[in-house]
Structure 1
């Protein structure tokens, strides 16, 4: 009887830490997966993505064990990642890069230049930024797992560095946009810069000084802004810039710990080590570099393997006619203005897998418009209002070989 009582008391004592860590890790695993969804948007087969998101859990869980589990080799080496710059964002950003590369660009995306496509809703994009911004405070502050003892001090510090970093990134985004747009401001540059700054400060949020967070955030925001056109130059079509925001900025964020970390002893968050700029040696920076490379290689390779296997059963790329009609309508049956289907409907006519009567929207995607013009020019005229079930992937020179 006594043993049972002791066991129950032990379970109650462990209940809080176990449940809180489970919820935290569940949220982190979800985040690492949803990061990839943005890079696959507008041309990924929804069923294939659902299967990928289920399997993608392994992409996050293994490196999370490396850095946070007592058994992990990075943990034993003394690597630091308090809020997930590496285990969450770098893993997600690396997966996003591979997924975008395997899917290929959206139809007509780079046929006439690399300028960003017009935003569907700047208001919704800003709303999403604010939701992430405030949510980031909870994640960064909560990454010390408590407020007892000295924890509340580091939790408060994490909140301040998070806000300061976003200030640094936001300023860089405004300057970058002002120069790039010749005196005007692009809301996408500001969003990318602020998110990049938040990503970069997350890993060391509780061990930076406030002014250091501004510097780290400014560099992270700059990498996010410059990375987006760089990947477009490589013809890696990432609609939301996940590779830059969550990849490049996170890589910097993991390295920044090796430069700016305060060697505190109250919670032993740094295992007694300091960053290179704080009087420490190069060991911590070397370990952080190893962690960044390990996260990137693991996430990239496993993502490639998962998508390659899934593609054998469910094509990861949508059919060309489905992409032109729009995933909102084809995959989800959403019928509203702005879906982007009316031009596609008039050009494509009927299709055996699509109810043409369901569409009544106005299209605005320039890449799709060019693809449809090319299709109409090559085809000459439709035969009795249908495509005779012929494939239409020839309407653009964009390669979608991974979907075949």
Structure 2
């Protein structure tokens, strides 16, 4: 198929094009004008692409930190699926639908350059691969944004199918804005690094996904207050990784450092940081005032990310104070829209709808207000924003861009989810949702996160040996087998004293001479390092046995561990200090003994005739 090469038939090289032999190339693959890159530009683009790819780590850590622990592995698996499946479909048809230059390409969709793979010896092989890799990193980022909004209630197999097809949601509007034939591009729409095609599309798709899936079970049973984070540290670390990747996201979008590009690459990096400073400062003040001196983790995270999304569309078109202002307004929008979506019962655990959707729209509009004309580059086609004396045209085009992208993102995502649901139920079964996707989808059992309690409560209604036989996470089953065999050998030894296995007494493993320590540590962390026969250890074992409903013979029962100086004294004889000490001991013991809700525990034991596992 002969392809149109009109973009390359120019009389003079454009800004940054420093390889004249490319103009007469007989390449089988055509590049657009904004992809005309030389050796130095290719190096810059490849390096930026590698850094942008690390944003997947940031999204994974952020999303896994926002969901409950029993779903954190599942959300990471979805991020892996986004890259693997979404990346494959972008190579098959996504890149061609955005930037294809075939004879059937039109202002709505590109046609051509599918399965892109220029042969060895093609003079454009390097530029083509560099451009494709850069756009691929954008495409997988847009897909990953959606996974957070569908967390904790989306069937994994159905999500994989959605991830495979979600490239369509991104690649078509990307061609409208960035493709040489795109109708928005021809009208003069400006979006340097993707506030619209990446974040607004991702946020709109996230909103539609959360709306169609419905809220998690019991999410709004006690109001709209956010649920506890599974791992706040992971969420914060993910934010830092995204922050780092955003620098390459924005400064790499100059498509090189040749000509005048290097100056604007530097400006883009600095303006990105300025915008995030504005958002971070707003977030700190906002959360401290709102929560009366207590800083909420997610409000600060969303403020920083919202500011980064907002400054992305015009990252090298602003002055420093303008970037700070744009970031500050973006942070305010993120903090204001998150509770609004909750009131609408749009359950978005990570806040993708507010951070990427609402702030992405603001970022698109901000170009129409604050943009400079980046001479000598033709990024804005010689236009400036409204506040820079450029008139209303650019703002009008940016507003039209926002409307088109939102309409496309919401409509196509809903249609895609509906079609997938006809093949595979996309909402998890309530039984699986209560147990957590890590257990039901990936056979990972976490400890102390309510999984075993859910198994006990659901047992009368649903029996699944494949679920209940799953071991705890991190448990070495080989070691467990050896331990079980040792217990069996001990029982056989008691029954048959001529058994071949020699069993030592406890002191057989002690050194002949142990160093004496002057410091007596009675903390729980020192439980197995001290004397296994002391009263504290026996008391703890007695409490654990009582909670587990287990009675052991030949074990001394100790109801309380009372210091020697308090023994024999009547309650009225105790001093104030001794009363405080005794009260603290009782409180600590009560907290340990009743660490489980006693009513729920008794109810489960009565109904399921079995104690909780953890």
Contact 1:35 1:93 in 2 (8 A): yes
- Whether the 8 Å contact between 1:38 and 1:238 is mirrored in structure 2 is yes
Q: 1:338 to 1:49 in 2, by over 3 A?
A: farther
Provide the secondary structure at the position in 2 that maps to 1:229: helix
Go from structure 1 to structure 2 and tell me whether the alpha carbon gap of 1:86 and 1:80 turns closer, same or farther (over 3 Å shift): same
Which residue number corresponds to residue 167 of structure 2?
Answer: 57
TM-score (structure 2 length as normaliser):
0.58
The CA distance in 2 between the partners of 1:380 and 1:232, in whole Å, is 36
1:227 Cα offset (Å): 1.2
Deviation of 1:266 after TM superposition, in Å, equals 1.0
Deviation at 1:243, TM superposition (A): 0.1
2:470 equivalent in structure 1: 358
Matched residue pairs, number? 370
Tell me, in whole angstroms, the C-alpha distance in 1 between the residues paired with 2:360 and 2:297: 22
Quick one: higher RCO (CA 8 Å, sep 6+), 1 or 2? 1
- In the TM superposition, what whole-angstrom CA distance separates every residue of 1:254-296 from its partner, at most 9, and x where no partner exists? 0000000001231111100000000011010000000001000
* Cα displacement string for residues 112-144 of structure 1 (whole angstroms, at most 9, x for unaligned residues): 111101111111111100110000001101001
Deviation for aligned residue 1:210: 1.3
Deviation at 1:380, TM superposition (A): 12
Matched, 1:246 2:365: no
Name the counterpart of 1:98: 208
Query: Which residue in the other structure is 1:189 paired with?
Result: 299
Counterpart in the other structure of 1:305: 415
Kindly state the Cα deviation for residue 222 of structure 1 after the two structures are TM-superposed.
Answer: 1.0
Give 1:129-278 correspondences, 5 Å limit: 129-278=239-388
Q: Secondary structure at the match of 1:355?
A: helix
**Distance in 1 separating the partners of 2:373 and 2:463:** 64
Q: Distance in 2 between matches of 1:190 and 1:8?
A: 49
Alpha-carbon offset, residue 336 of structure 1: 2.7
Per-residue deviation, 1:335:
2.5
Determine the C-alpha separation between the residues in 1 that align with 2:423 and 2:342.
Answer: 29
CA-atom RMSD in angstroms: 2.4
Which residue of structure 2 lines up, in the alignment, with residue 399 of structure 1?
none
Cα gap change, 1:162 to 1:353, in 2 (>3 Å): farther
Indicate the structure (1 or 2) with the bigger Cα radius of gyration: 2
Q: TM-score, normalised by structure 1?
A: 0.87
Q: Which has the higher helix share?
A: 1
Question: 1:329–1:359: 8 Å Cα contact kept in structure 2?
Answer: no
Partner of residue 232, structure 2: 122
Q: Is the 8 A contact 1:342 1:359 kept in 2?
A: no
The 3-state SS of whatever aligns with 1:17 is helix
Judge conservation of contact 1:36–1:92 (CA < 8 Å) in 2: yes
Q: Is the Cα–Cα contact under 8 Å of residues 444 and 472 in structure 2 kept in the other structure?
A: no
Runs of 5+ consecutive residues of structure 2 not aligned to the other structure: 1-23, 30-120, 474-595
